[in-house]
């Protein structure tokens, strides 16, 4: 897979991740800054590292499963390797400008 194909898949993944919303906040998980990294390797495995707004998030399992399911259904992705981390911990500085505007922080 060349760099252009890899970028296309990663761009599609960003679009998919922007369709997933934190149930408690009316902003998608990508703009919330919950997605730390997306990397698609030559075997078309999407390596995604994400966090949650809080380690004790009651919707954690549901959110993680939704990311795996939707990312796995993205054209060009054969498998999803999802890592959940709390290092660094999420904070409001990770919000995109769009999210800050939506939440009234701008």
Does 1 score more than 80 pLDDT? Answer: no
The model's pTM: 0.93
Strands, E assignment, the chain? 35-40, 45-50, 79-84
Does 59 score more than 90 pLDDT? Answer: no
Does 55 score more than 90 pLDDT? Answer: no
**How high is the pLDDT of residue 23?**
81
What domains can you pick out in the chain, each with its CATH number? 3-90 (3.30.300.130)
CA–CA distance, 101 with 106 (Å, rounded to integer)? 5
* pLDDT confidence tier of residue 25, bands split at 50, 70 and 90: confident
**How high is the pLDDT of residue 54?**
86
Nearest to 10 by CA among 53, 52, 67, 71: 71
**Percent of residues, the chain, with pLDDT higher than 70:** 100
Burial class (CB in 10 A: 0-12, 13-18, 19+), 26: exposed
Does 21 score more than 90 pLDDT? Answer: yes
Does 100 score more than 90 pLDDT? Answer: yes
DSSP symbol at 89? P
């Amino acid at each position: 897979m060349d760099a252009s194909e890899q970028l296309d898949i990663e761009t599609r993944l960003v679009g998919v991740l922007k369709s997933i919303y934190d149930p408690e906040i009316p902003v998608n998980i990508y703009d919330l800054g919950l997605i730390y990294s997306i990397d698609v390797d030559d075997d078309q495995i999407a390596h995604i590292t994400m966090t949650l707004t809080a380690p004790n998030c009651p919707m954690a399992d549901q959110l993680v499963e939704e990311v795996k399911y939707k990312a796995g259904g993205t054209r060009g992705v054969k498998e999803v390797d999802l890592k959940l981390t709390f290092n660094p911990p999420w904070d409001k500085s990770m919000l995109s400008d769009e999210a800050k505007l939506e939440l009234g922080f701008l």
